[in-house]
Amino acid sequence: MIDALFGSKTRVKLLHLFLNHPGQSFYVREITRLVDEQINSVRRELANMLAVGVITSDTADNKLYYQVNQRYDYYLALRSIFADEPIDAVHESRAAEDVLNKQYRDAITEIGGLRLAIMAGVLVKGSSSPVDLLLVGKPSTSKVKALINLIEKGEGREINYSVLSYDDFYYRLSMRDRFITEIINTKYAAPIDQDNILRREQEK
What is the pTM (predicted TM-score) of this model? 0.70
pLDDT for position 1: 44
State pLDDT tens for residues 87-145. Answer: 554 444 445 566 678 889 999 999 989 999 999 998 988 888 999 999 999 999 999 99
State pLDDT tens for residues 142-192. Answer: 999 999 999 998 888 899 999 999 999 999 999 999 999 999 999 999 999
Is it the case that residue 58 has pLDDT exceeding 80? yes
State pLDDT tens for residues 6-23. Answer: 678 899 999 999 988 888
Dihedral (Cα; 147, 163, 65, 12), 10-degree rounding: 30
- In the chain, where the domains are located: 2-82, 94-203
Classify domain 2-82 by CATH number: 1.10.10.10
